[in-house]
């Protein structure tokens, strides 16, 4: 007897505002989310604000060199502390000038010493769990969350193996890509290459060999590993030096739920990270990196090629899928689960949807 078919998730997982609200309160507030890069807070007092799961936060480097993250809210009467990015000696609330040290402790507030029993030492900006991952800053709103190495076992070491200079890298460019779709539609599209031969001709003929493409879930943790080989050198759309270890390989480590490191052939690091805007919209940031952020003509051309081909092609795909999910005629079909896995199988989607379903049901 054949095993029962595994069907895709019901459309409501992508279109129901109540499920999106539940994800914002739960999943996205209890998982590791990308905040920024250490190069954005190079010096003492450098800071930048950002948003995770509907919460305004900011990262700041202390005089001790430590990078800390805080909720972007004054403990006096809740005014936001900072906007954008910059540098400061102390963090001053614009509302009543309550002043905080770079470590978050309250330094002073106008006339607070006149208040009987006022204890300055008892007041501090609310900290957020923060980890550095090869220069990439991640945060988690769950104080009790397991460390990133537990969530994503082996990735730190594997990334350093494929990109030995990873700790010296800085952003060359980041491109912001709005998509009119639920964030999970975009993440799913990224997490399978079943559509690549049909929809990504440049990627499939000038960067990788689709016939070698596979995506495997980690046996533990929450990682999807993409593996493939590069095209033959005479078909590559950019030059690579095969004498360098792993130069002929493509690897990607998708870190559930919203970030991916990619190592393109030639040991070129690039990243995706997602932000959920609302149930019908997300933003994807595409990042490219060089040592010290120094300009590199080859990587600039590769990034432009990627934007004009794969990125543009994917926007059309995910936005069409999101419109289709709202059709009363959609009946979730079976996933294509080839026991041999490979590029024409959706076994990675089955794993991803299991995580999605568990996050909502929890």
Domain boundaries, the chain: 33-140, 149-361
User: What distance in Å separates the CA atoms of residue 300 and residue 319, rounded to the nearest whole number?
Assistant: 27
Percent of the chain with pLDDT over 90: 80
* Sign of torsion over alpha carbons 259, 344, 314, 200: positive
Residue 245 has a pLDDT of 93
State which fold the 33-140 domain adopts.
Rieske Iron-sulfur Protein (2.102.10)
Reading phi first (left if > 0) and then psi (alpha if -120 to 50, else beta), residue 208 is in beta
Residue 343 has a pLDDT of 84
Q: Which structure tokens are listed for 167?
A: 């700790």
* Local confidence band at 296 (pLDDT 50, 70, 90 cut-offs): very high
Least confident range from 29-38, 79-88, 130-139, 237-246: namely 237-246
Residue 261 has a pLDDT of 98
Average pLDDT over residues 55-68: 98
User: What distance in Å separates the CA atoms of residue 362 and residue 356, rounded to the nearest whole number?
Assistant: 10
Average pLDDT over residues 286-315: 95
pLDDT higher than 80, residue 346 = yes
pLDDT higher than 70, residue 305 = yes
pLDDT higher than 60, residue 271 = yes
* Local confidence band at 361 (pLDDT 50, 70, 90 cut-offs): confident
Percent of the chain with pLDDT over 70: 99
* Local confidence band at 236 (pLDDT 50, 70, 90 cut-offs): confident
Does the bond joining 353 to the residue before it have cis omega, within 30 degrees of 0?
no
* Local confidence band at 173 (pLDDT 50, 70, 90 cut-offs): very high
pTM of the model: 0.95
pLDDT higher than 90, residue 197 = no
* Local confidence band at 194 (pLDDT 50, 70, 90 cut-offs): confident
Q: Which of 11, 268, 303 is nearest to 174 (CA)?
A: 303
pLDDT higher than 90, residue 58 = yes
What value does the mean pLDDT of the chain take? 94
Residue 234 has a pLDDT of 85
pLDDT higher than 90, residue 210 = no
* Local confidence band at 2 (pLDDT 50, 70, 90 cut-offs): low
User: What distance in Å separates the CA atoms of residue 62 and residue 40, rounded to the nearest whole number?
Assistant: 13
Q: Which residue has 């920024």 as its token pair?
A: 36
- For the chain, the residue count is 362
Residue 94 has a pLDDT of 97
166 or 120: which leads in pLDDT: 166
State which fold the 149-361 domain adopts.
Naphthalene 1,2-dioxygenase Alpha Subunit; Chain A, domain 1 (3.90.380)
Q: Residue 216: helix, strand or coil by DSSP?
A: strand
C-alpha count within 13 angstroms, C-beta hemisphere, residue 161: 11
Tens-digit pLDDT profile for residues 102-125: 999 999 999 988 899 889 899 999
* Local confidence band at 160 (pLDDT 50, 70, 90 cut-offs): very high
Average pLDDT over residues 38-56: 97
pLDDT higher than 60, residue 290 = yes
Chain-centre distance of CA 231, in angstroms? 27
Tens-digit pLDDT profile for residues 18-36: 999 999 999 999 999 999 9
268 or 204: which leads in pLDDT: 268
Average pLDDT over residues 133-159: 98
Least confident range from 183-192, 228-237, 344-353: namely 228-237
User: What distance in Å separates the CA atoms of residue 31 and residue 258, rounded to the nearest whole number?
Assistant: 9
Q: Which structure tokens are listed for 66?
A: 């430590």
Residue 1 has a pLDDT of 54
């Amino acid at each position: 007897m054949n095993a029962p078919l595994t069907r895709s998730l019901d459309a409501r997982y992508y279109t129901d505002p109540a499920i999106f609200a539940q994800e914002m309160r739960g999943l996205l507030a209890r998982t590791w989310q990308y905040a920024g890069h250490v190069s954005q807070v190079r010096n003492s007092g450098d800071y930048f604000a950002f948003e995770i799961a509907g919460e305004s936060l900011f990262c700041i480097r202390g005089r001790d060199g430590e990078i800390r993250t805080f909720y972007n809210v004054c403990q006096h009467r809740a005014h936001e502390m900072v906007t954008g990015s910059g540098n400061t000696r102390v963090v001053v609330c614009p509302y009543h000038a309550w002043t905080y040290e770079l470590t978050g402790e309250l330094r002073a507030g106008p006339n607070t010493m006149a208040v009987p029993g006022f204890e300055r030492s008892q007041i501090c900006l609310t900290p957020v769990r923060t980890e550095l991952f090869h220069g990439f800053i991640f945060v988690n709103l769950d104080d009790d969350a397991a460390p990133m190495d537990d969530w994503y076992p082996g990735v730190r070491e594997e990334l350093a193996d494929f990109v030995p200079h990873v700790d010296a890298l800085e952003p060359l460019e980041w491109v912001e890509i709005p998509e009119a779709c639920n964030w999970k539609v975009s993440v799913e599209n990224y997490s399978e290459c079943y559509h690549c031969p049909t929809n990504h001709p440049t990627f499939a003929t000038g960067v990788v060999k689709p016939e070698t493409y596979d995506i495997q879930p980690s046996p533990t943790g929450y990682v999807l590993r993409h593996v493939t080989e590069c095209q033959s050198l005479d078909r590559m759309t950019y030059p690579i030096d095969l004498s360098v270890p792993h130069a002929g390989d493509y690897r990607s480590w998708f870190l559930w739920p919203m970030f991916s490191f990619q190592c393109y052939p030639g040991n070129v690091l690039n990243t995706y990270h997602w932000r959920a805007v609302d149930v019908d919209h997300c933003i994807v940031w595409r990042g490219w990196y060089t040592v010290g952020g120094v300009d590199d003509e080859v990587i600039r051309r590769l990034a432009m090629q990627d934007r004009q081909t794969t990125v543009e092609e994917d926007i059309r795909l995910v936005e069409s899928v999101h419109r289709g999910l709202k059709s009363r005629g959609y009946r979730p079909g079976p996933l294509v689960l080839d026991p041999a896995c490979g590029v024409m199988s959706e076994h990675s989607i089955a794993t991803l949807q299991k995580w999605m379903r568990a996050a909502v049901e929890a």
